[in-house]
Amino acid sequence: MIVHFYRQLKSLILAMTFVVTTYKTGTCGNGMDLFEETTFLDCSFSDYCQRSYVRENVRKYCSEENLTYIERCCFNKTSMANVLVGLDLSNCTLMNVSDLFKNTTNLVILDLEDNPLLNYTKADFLGLTHLEYLYLPENKTCPGGEAAWSSSGTECSGQLNPCNYLNVSCTENGQCHHLGPGIAKCGCLPGHYGYKCLRQGTFPTLTYCLAICIPTVLFSAFFWFTQRRHVKTD
């Protein structure tokens, strides 16, 4: 029982630390961080591919745009960071791409040719709103369907905004957000939150999180003190 209590207490402390951190930084509920912006040039994705043969799609794009190409990655070097905009994962024996691109939301060109990809969905490309060129293995379809691209097939180009072609209708205080190929979601305009964005102001993050954490701590402490007598000692 004591060990169980300390485990609960540790989890609660970590949760409260997260709450305070997210409240100060304003990132509570924001599921995407742009970790691909770095101050150094390192193509960590090359670890996925042990084969030396690559196609020229990404390299050619990088050269034409006067960007920096290293191994299988194309970087846009800015004064603040080096942003990953191109990625060549062709001929990498990839079976799936689940969670592979969650931290590469600035990709403009992506090559997945010559891979034995089994199944993927548009959700695997969530956050890739800047993606304009996607090269797929043969007999694979563009994520989001043909309507999500100006040109579709094994080469998907010109990603379209689903808020427009899906005619997404949001509430009066809401706005449609493009989240990826064929992915759209309604969100509240600044200054509104809650059900159908009817409430004005900002969501009370700290109050909400404390209202959950404090009762949990109190109940845990109560049950620990009241149940200690049932703990068998050697």
Please indicate, yes or no, if residue 107 is contained in any of the structural domains.
yes
Look up the pTM and report it: 0.68
Q: Give dist(CA 100, CA 228) in Å, integer.
A: 47
In the listed set 160, 182, 217, which residue is the last one of a domain according to the structure?
160
Please indicate, yes or no, if residue 89 is contained in any of the structural domains.
yes
Least confident of 10-19, 72-81, 98-107: 10-19
> What is the model's pLDDT at position 54?
75
Please indicate, yes or no, if residue 167 is contained in any of the structural domains.
no
Q: Are residues 12 and 93 in the same domain?
A: no
Q: Are residues 44 and 21 in the same domain?
A: no
In the listed set 100, 125, 160, which residue is the last one of a domain according to the structure?
160
> What is the model's pLDDT at position 113?
93
Q: Give dist(CA 69, CA 64) in Å, integer.
A: 11
> What is the model's pLDDT at position 80?
77
Please indicate, yes or no, if residue 214 is contained in any of the structural domains.
yes
- Give the rounded percent of residues in the chain with a pLDDT score beyond 90: 40
- Please, what is the average pLDDT of the chain? 79
Q: Give dist(CA 98, CA 100) in Å, integer.
A: 5
DSSP state of 101: S
| Burial tier of 115 (Cβ tally within 10 Å: 0-12, 13-18, 19+) | buried
What single-letter amino acid sits at 225? Answer: F
Residue range 197-204: mean pLDDT, rounded: 74
Other beta carbons less than 10 A from residue 6's beta carbon: 11
Using alpha carbons, list the distances in angstroms from residue 99 to 4, 40, 43, 104, 115.
33, 23, 17, 10, 17
Higher pLDDT, 206 or 113: 113
Residue 94 · residue 116 · CB < 8 Å: yes
> What is the model's pLDDT at position 231?
58
- 130: containing domain: 37-160
Q: Which two tokens stand for residue 89?
A: 């994962």
Please indicate, yes or no, if residue 169 is contained in any of the structural domains.
no
Residue 224 · residue 5 · CB < 8 Å: yes
Q: Are residues 43 and 155 in the same domain?
A: yes
Residue range 98-120: mean pLDDT, rounded: 91
Question: Is residue 129 over pLDDT 70?
Answer: yes
